[in-house]
Structure 1
Amino acid sequence: MNTETGKTALITGASSGIGQELAKLFAQDGYNLVLVGRSDDKLDRLADVFKSNYGTQQITVISKNLSEEDAAQDVYNQIKAKGITINVLVNDAGVGLYGLFATDTDWEREKAMIHLNVLALTQMTKLFLYDMLARNEGKILNLASLLSITPTPLMAVYAGTKAYVYNFTQSLVNELKDTNVTITALLPNATDTDFFNKANAENTKITDELQDPVMVAQAGYDALMSGKSKAIPGGLKNKSYEVMAYLAPQETLASLMREKMSQKPEPEPEKEASVSVAWGIGFGIAVIAGIALTIGYKNTSDFQKARYRYKAKSAGNALSNTLSSVLDTVVNGVVDAYQNTKEKAEKLATKGVDIEEDVVA
């Protein structure tokens, strides 16, 4: 689209996940890029892709671990030394850590997480915001989380850092309201990136709700460009979580999040047996239906046989859909499903060829 040729966006955590998708959006819109991350190999490959696919004019790669002391200051110094003006700052880099705070998690990893999620983000914002205000122009996007507005057992420190990011960002929204500089907080739900693997939380229940990082990045990008104070991707469901976070008691929220953050249970033999029963019942229904239709077919007139052949294909598709529905139902209630399908089979046997109308319906 090349709508912003000449402007530069700096994205931390750009080598993967939401950060990479955001970098792609800036590249598509004609921004020059400064990509910051720990893997210069990944960033170099990403730069080559952007130059090839989008014709990006200038891409600067800075390999830096922002969890280290004064790393943000070093990034800023490198930018100033190169004479680059940052029009958009995206503080995407962040990590998580899973486990009981008192007994499971490691302090050194927590300290590095606090440094990255809080100190580096704050220092990056302070350094580049000062220059933006001097020009009275600029935009900042800070990656918060839906966890930033609710207590989250088993990820207590991570949620605490994100609560800081959200509160910090909304405070600056007010401070900047009379300027041409805007700041936006992005609050995604669990997203399909490598985050949960790195946090040792890959088998938690919340990973069943993972959202597309492309969608999350687009929602954050749109909000940033519109100068909105926050973005909650994922539609009404995730926005309802925000409302609940403000209205429900904290103890209730903590219990809810404890459940979502708990480990997935091991498959139960009874459930596995239910699935086997479901397949057996489904096969039995198919056999009974086939017998009933065959009997009806043999006993009907030539005209009705022709009519039957015409509808057979659509009847077969409908029967397949019916069986799929039955299988889903059986897993949650084998007995009820069996009774319902048994009644249908009995009707098939008694109605003869006229049953094709029921099957199609």
Structure 2
Amino acid sequence: MISYAAKGGVSLSTAMKAMVLHAMRKPLVMEERPVPAPGAGEIRIAVEACAVCRTDLHLLDGDLPHPKLPVIPGHEIVGRVDALGPGIRSRALGERVGIPWLGHTCGHCSYCIAGQENLCDEPLFTGYTRDGGFASHAIADEAYAFSLPEDDDPAALAPLLCAGLIGWRSLVAAGPGKTIGIFGFGAAAHIIAQVCAWQGRNVFAFTRPHDPATQDFARSLGAVWAGGSDQEPPERLDAAIIFAPVGELVPVALRTVRKGGRVVCGGIHMSDIPQFPYRILWEERQIRSIANLTRQDAQDFLAIVPEARIRTQTTRYPLEAANEALDDLRSGRLQGAAVLTP
């Protein structure tokens, strides 16, 4: 292993801090642990920022099966490479990288071979089946780390690593339509609304009923219309993306799209979808889900970020306030994204 300190960088402590999940539906616990050493093909990151995702809430709530416990959550990591495992040639000590949800794939299952690594049969997920970024240090597979701008604010970059990437994959799945409905105007929506505006699309933002502050926020990011999910948009839409984990929104969204329109469910977990009449699906409307991401998604999206001049809105918390950040996300007290800054 080669460390940043060994190359003349900052001195490294032998201990790290981490917010750890030991059991479902329990708060995270601050712990001090030995700084881990990267193995073959791995790098260690000194974490500069890690955004808080709704998926982290699903992990805490037990909605995601078979997590590694105890586990350090967090999968929107920005940091500096501070140690290299054996055989690393593509990364440099001190380089800034981003670490996303998809942490490793097998490379040999039928999905990986077909270019669908997001559906890999033997994946590892950052902050779920391997430790993540709610910590001062994290280990990552070098092949699943992405170069990030050296001079940008790390807290502003962090939401791009999941909210941005999953939002981008959802938008691509929605197709090339010009009118896009977005249900649930949180971290992913506030990024993808900016992409849509850059692409010349019209965004129709659906928020919780009676939420004028979020509706104003959506309009400030280019939405041509914003209203509650209990309201009808002024026209039929080409596609709708649902970021809110609310199954009841699927038939609502189906009623907003035109013939041949698409409804994309962008979350990893959603409450049950209620029974609905076939007539709102008929006329070749489609429903599809989005699962994880591919490295190509990351390359494509990160390339357009500077062109589209995407700006994230963040609320920052110290690492030890991770439980407070999660509570604020759950209650809807945030606009944009929560970010932990160790």
TM-score > 0.5, shorter chain as reference? no
Task: Please classify the TM superposition score into its range, dividing by the shorter chain length.
Answer: under 0.3
> In proportion to residue count, which structure has more helix?
1
> In proportion to residue count, which structure has more strand?
2
RCO higher in 1 or 2 (8 Å CA, sep ≥ 6)? 2
**Which structure has the greater CA radius of gyration?**
1
Scaled by the length of structure 1, what TM-score is found?
A: 0.25
